[in-house]
Amino acid sequence: MTATEELLRRAIAIATSARGHGNHPFGALLTDAAGAIAFEAENTVVTEHDPTGHAETNLVRNAARALGGDLSGYTLYTSTEPCAMCSGAIYWSGISRVVFALSEAQLYARTGAHPENPTLQLPSREVFAHGQREIRVEGPFIEDEAAAPHKGFWG
């Protein structure tokens, strides 16, 4: 098992935990320059009544507050490819690298126009391509495992 897969499996476990807490099945974590996990965040859309409570946006907000605002040098690992909103949050945070498991296309195949998650079909690479600084994106990886927390969730 590679370090990438190990960290993505942790993000998938966080997604499973989010579902267990009554939220949507998404999880993300941040590693520092040495590759150690520095922060983790679950989706909190349902329990916090916050439509912006996606795992990646929660992670950026919490980590930036704790670290003084600049997340450059950190890598974000997420169970599912960041949506356009989260890609924006990642862009503004200074995060330099994003690694995801399940692709947005595979998520869309599961959610379609689901009222709680009408997936935005705007891949993170496309959002970042319009920015003024480079963000490295890697993924998808281990999509079968990443799909597991979504099984039976979206009806």
Q: Which of 12, 28, 45, 83 binds Zn ion (CB under 5 A)?
A: 83
Which residues carry out catalysis?
56
Taken in order 123, 110, 139, 57, is the CA torsion positive or negative? Answer: positive
Distance (Å, whole) CA 117 – CA 113: 7
Give the DSSP H/E element, type plus range, for residue 75. strand 75-80
Is the Cβ of residue 33 or residue 47 nearer to Zn ion in the bound state? 47
Distance (Å, whole) CA 117 – CA 92: 23
Is residue 135 a contact point for Zn ion (CB under 5 A)? no
Query: How near is the Cβ of 82 to Zn ion at its closest, in Å?
Result: 6
Q: Which of 7, 28, 86, 98 binds Zn ion (CB under 5 A)?
A: 86
Q: Which of 9, 10, 24, 54 binds Zn ion (CB under 5 A)?
A: 54
Distance (Å, whole) CA 20 – CA 155: 16
- Considering CB under 5 A, how many residues would be counted as binding Zn ion? 4
List residues near Zn ion by CB under 5 A: 54, 83, 85-86
